Amino acid sequence: DAGVIQSPRHEVTEMGQEVTLRCKPISGHDYLFWYRQTMMRGLELLIYFNNNVPIDDSGMPEDRFSAKMPNASFSTLKIQPSEPRDSAVYFCASSPILQGKEHFGDGTRLSIL
C-alpha cells in the first residue's frame, strides 16, 4: 500500500488567501485524523472522522478552519481566510480500527506570509 498521501507537501501563500490541504487515507481504514504540529504547541489533534462522518472537531481552532470527507478515499482541510499564525505542519493520519495504530502521511508544511 502507498500509505497516507498528502498534498501539497509545501504551501506558501499570503494572509487572507484560502488554503486547501488534501489527504488520501490508506484503503480500508475507517478512521481519518487531521493534526497540526508547531514548535510552540507540539502536535495537536484538530478533527477526526469515522466512516466519512466527523466525530470530534473540538480541536479545530476557529471557524476559519473546516474539514470534509466526501468519500472514503479523500479528505480536505480548508483554512479561509488564512493568517500567519496558521503556519505549521499539518498531518493527516488513518487507522483501521478504534484505538489502533495510526499511520501518518508526510505532512504539508504551510507558511502564511
90 binds another protein (CB under 8 A): no
Q: Interacting stretch for another protein, rule CB under 8 A, among 15-23, 44-52, 70-78, 79-87? A: 44-52
Distances (CA, A) of 26 to 49, 93, 104: 14, 9, 10
* Separation CA 104–CA 1 (nearest Å): 13
DSSP string, 46-60: EEEEETTEEEE-TT-
107 binds another protein (CB under 8 A): yes
Nearer to another protein, 105 or 112 (CB): 105
Binding mask 4-43 for another protein (x = CB under 8 A): x--------------------------x-x--------xx
The footprint of another protein on this chain (CB under 8 A) covers a number of residues equal to: 22
103 binds another protein (CB under 8 A): yes
Nearer to another protein, 14 or 41 (CB): 41
In contact, 66 and 73? CB cutoff 8 Å? no
CA dihedral 50, 51, 54, 60 (to 10 degrees): 60
